Amino acid sequence: MEQQTISQLNQLNYDFYKITAIDFDDSRHYFWNGWEKIPPLLDRFSDIRVADIGCGNGRFGQFLVEKCSQLKFSYTGVDANITLLDFAHKNLKGKIPALHLQHSDIITALQNNEDFLGKQNFQLISSFGVFHHVPSFELRLKLLKYLLSKLTKDGYLIISFWQFMNFERFRKKIITDQNMLAKKNIDLEKLEAGDYILDWKRGKFALRYCHFIDEAEQLRLVDQAQGKLIKTYLADGTENVVNQYTIITHKN
């Protein structure tokens, strides 16, 4: 994918969350069912560092506070939207003593080879609802490799992949009107297979770029990133199969 197209898609998503941040926060005040499989993985730890990539309003941090009360942890939340980070600060302040919230555009950081997580390594890295917003297989692979490089040898990287193309209610959101997209500087012919522009009509109208990462691509990403696949499972949504979770660690 051309760098200009990547930047245009990233700008589309930046604008999307700027427009919808308050409505998006309103729709994200519950814990995803898929997270319930995470606490047992952490039983052997007493003190860990957590990095939450695309933390939004910090609800996964809240989940850890409530469900892992025996666990002492530091929490680094990274997001590109300052409004959602403000919500995260409000939701997590006083609940996690070692709290660090970071305003970072990870797409631009990846393009510029920036080390946005710094020198620390983490026992748990989560990335929920993020990878489908990363334009191009090359950048998705680069992000996965980067996150694995920040994972301790005994740590877990847990990713969710939104399975939106498996549901008619989400497929109905796909926009194919090139005139509408041209106003956003989006050319469908320059997108990769599996790339879509979806609308949002909860509150304000907005458009977002999403890539459908099927199981074959998930396996290819893990293999090429030299990660070790521990487990995959479906969860979330009315049908409890809206997200595919992938738990990864180091091969050695």
- The model's pLDDT over 26-66, given as tens digits with 9 standing for 90+, comes to 666 689 999 999 999 999 998 999 999 999 999 999 999 99
Q: Residue ranges of the chain with pLDDT lower than 70?
A: 24-29
Partnered with residue 76 across adjacent β-strands are 51, 100
* pLDDT of amino acid 47: 93
Amino acid found at 150: K
CA distance 250 to 151: 8
Contact 49, 120 (CB under 8 A): yes
Query: Residue 55 sits in which domain range?
Result: 3-250
Question: Does residue 138 sit in helix, strand or coil?
Answer: helix
Helix (H) or strand (E) holding 218, with range, is helix 215-224
Cβ burial 16-55 (10 Å sphere, 16+ → b, else e):
bbebbbeebbeebeeebebbeebbebbeebeebbbbbbbb
Say how many C-beta atoms besides its own lie within 10 A of residue 192's C-beta.
Answer: 12
CA distance 53 to 180: 31
Amino acid found at 200: W
Amino acid found at 152: T
Q: What's the domain count of the chain?
A: 1
The CATH number of the domain holding residue 233 is: 3.40.50.150
* pLDDT of amino acid 24: 67
Cβ burial 200-215 (10 Å sphere, 16+ → b, else e):
beeeeebbbbbbbbee
CB neighbour list of residue 180: distance below 8 Å, 6 or more residues apart: 207
CA distance 165 to 171: 6
CA distance 169 to 148: 34
CA distance 176 to 77: 34
